[in-house]
Structure 1
Amino acid sequence: MSSSHSVWRGLVATVGLVLTAEGLYYLFRYLKWVREQQPRVLFFPAPVTCVRPLLLASPGRCDCPLPHRESALSRMARLLLSARRSIDVCVFTISSLDLSGSVLVAYERGVRVRVITDSDYMALASSQVGTFRKAGIEVRHDQDTNYMHHKFALIDGSILITGSLNWSAQAIFRNKENVIIIKDADIVKAFTEEFERLWNEYDPTKYSFSPQSS
């Protein structure tokens, strides 16, 4: 066999190996993407754990007596803290210091935050709505006797957090609750449209403070 044939065969073999390696690379990337698109489910009540180190700019050791281990609460807090552009919260009642603290940390980092909640429950002493507003976060609410009973949040317009969970200590640590984390574009789009619809409907310039009697 001539040397030119040997070189040619070697070149073909090399190209084949390169294409195979590249094909495997893109296959692994695709499989990883598919896996990441699968919904994840969190169940509550969560064990009482400390998530404070997650909220610190320079995480260090926390000496509180609570366990420091992964839980449904810490996973949800991590997800909120992962936001890079936006967090849209549409939740009936918001009193959890851990979840509201995660939103505040993201907001202080420059993430755009908008909050929709229920007018009755935002007036409770434990509500964190006042804390949000003091920080500069815009909060809108309903203005009728029906509950704004949604419980969902959108992260960067691409991740949906929804389920039965109110953002309260009672729901997180005592109730039987569920949260599902979804990246499906069609489902995220539907919830995004609902958020924008309510955001427009609850525009304070549209409030009627002196409703006419019928």
Structure 2
Amino acid sequence: MWAAGGRAALALGLALAAGAAALALGLGRALAARRRARREVLFFPSPPRCTEALLAQAEAPGAAPRPCPCPLPHGESSLGRLLRHLLSARRSLDLCLFAFSSPQLGRAVRLLHRRGVRVRVLTDAQYMALRGSQIGPLRLAGIPVRHDQESGYMHHKFAVVDGRLLITGSLNWTTQAIQNNRENVLVTDDAEYVTAFLDEFERIWEEYNPANYAFFPQGHNGSSTSTAKGRVRRATAKPESVQGG
């Protein structure tokens, strides 16, 4: 009887030890994966560098290189790195941007759409209508865009590439910010952070579904009103162009 009990205790001890070892191994692998996560920081303003060659190559992959007509010097830059990360998209690109007027970034997004990448855009209602905004051309290209109907700004500045790469920071995607402002962008594939931002995108995407809004005739002062899940926004005067960061 004691022998049987001893064998049972030994078996239980071995099972517990094996379980602990497996748990430790799993935690070790998870920590190692976290340590191997890609992390890159880009700082702006970005020095003037040619991006035409990069975009032309992306538009015609495999084509013979042609002389670049751009007079700017060639070489790496923060804008060039940002473009490369965007152009790495193969399945999806989710953009959540307050202001978007950079022609180079807009061209890259439309290129991805033509490739068959699923592109979705969330933006701020007031800034999307400004002169120079890329939102109009994106919509004309057939890219779905949703915007806020709130009293505050949709002030996020992030992108998620293929559901696995996060691009976020202080940078508005405007020429002013890229060329003149002190800004930062963090690029990472750390799953914990990517998932959090992707969940936020999906939440806002559903919240900004046009089916959730009810529009009413103009009020007595000539401004239109709309409601979105109990919130009210009144039309306000808009600046003329996207110039600020």
Q: TM-score by structure 2 length?
A: 0.71
The equivalent of 1:157 in structure 2 is 163
| CA deviation map 1:60-117 (0-9, x unaligned) | 3212211121100000001101100000000100000111111111111110000000
Look up the equivalent residue of 2:39 and give its one-letter code. Answer: P
| CA deviation map 1:16-75 (0-9, x unaligned) | xxxxxxxxxxxxxxxxx7776131000000011221122221453212211121100000
Q: Give the superposition deviation at 1:126.
A: 0.6
| CA deviation map 1:123-173 (0-9, x unaligned) | 101101010001000000001220000000000000000000000001100
Question: How far apart, CA to CA, are the structure 2 residues paired with 1:64 and 1:42?
Answer: 23
The equivalent of 1:51 in structure 2 is 51
Look up the equivalent residue of 1:204 and give its one-letter code. Answer: P
Question: How far apart, CA to CA, are the structure 1 residues paired with 2:181 and 2:188?
Answer: 22
The equivalent of 1:23 in structure 2 is none
The equivalent of 2:180 in structure 1 is 174
Question: How far apart, CA to CA, are the structure 1 residues paired with 2:185 and 2:176?
Answer: 15
Question: How far apart, CA to CA, are the structure 2 residues paired with 1:195 and 1:179?
Answer: 18
Percent identity, please. Answer: 56
Question: How far apart, CA to CA, are the structure 2 residues paired with 1:34 and 1:192?
Answer: 18
The equivalent of 1:10 in structure 2 is none
Q: Alpha carbons of 1:134 and 1:36: their partners in 2 closer, same or farther (altered >3 Å)?
A: farther
**In the alignment, is the contact (CA less than 8 A) between 2:34 and 2:190 conserved in 1?**
no
Are 1:140 and 2:146 counterparts? yes
The equivalent of 1:16 in structure 2 is none
User: What does 1:7-46 align with in structure 2 at a 5 Å threshold?
Assistant: 37-46=37-46
Are 1:90 and 2:104 counterparts? no
Q: Give the superposition deviation at 1:191.
A: 0.3
| 55-64 or 69-78: bigger deviation | 55-64
Question: How far apart, CA to CA, are the structure 2 residues paired with 1:38 and 1:109?
Answer: 25
Question: How far apart, CA to CA, are the structure 2 residues paired with 1:46 and 1:138?
Answer: 29
Unaligned stretches of 5+ residues in structure 2: 1-32, 217-225, 233-245
Q: Give the superposition deviation at 1:204.
A: 0.9
Question: How far apart, CA to CA, are the structure 2 residues paired with 1:35 and 1:186?
Answer: 12
Q: Say which SS state the counterpart of residue 152 (structure 1) adopts.
A: strand
Question: How far apart, CA to CA, are the structure 2 residues paired with 1:100 and 1:82?
Answer: 15
| 183-192 or 48-57: bigger deviation | 48-57
Look up the equivalent residue of 2:118 and give its one-letter code. Answer: R
Q: Say which SS state the counterpart of residue 128 (structure 2) adopts.
A: helix
Q: Say which SS state the counterpart of residue 193 (structure 2) adopts.
A: helix
Q: Out of 197, 200, 209, which is 1:203 matched to?
A: 209
Where do 4+ consecutive residues of structure 1 move more than 4 Å?
33-36
The equivalent of 2:131 in structure 1 is 125
Question: How far apart, CA to CA, are the structure 2 residues paired with 1:36 and 1:156?
Answer: 19
CA RMSD of aligned residues (A): 1.8
Q: TM-score by structure 1 length?
A: 0.81
Question: How far apart, CA to CA, are the structure 1 residues paired with 2:117 and 2:44?
Answer: 27
Q: Say which SS state the counterpart of residue 214 (structure 2) adopts.
A: coil
Unaligned stretches of 5+ residues in structure 1: 1-32
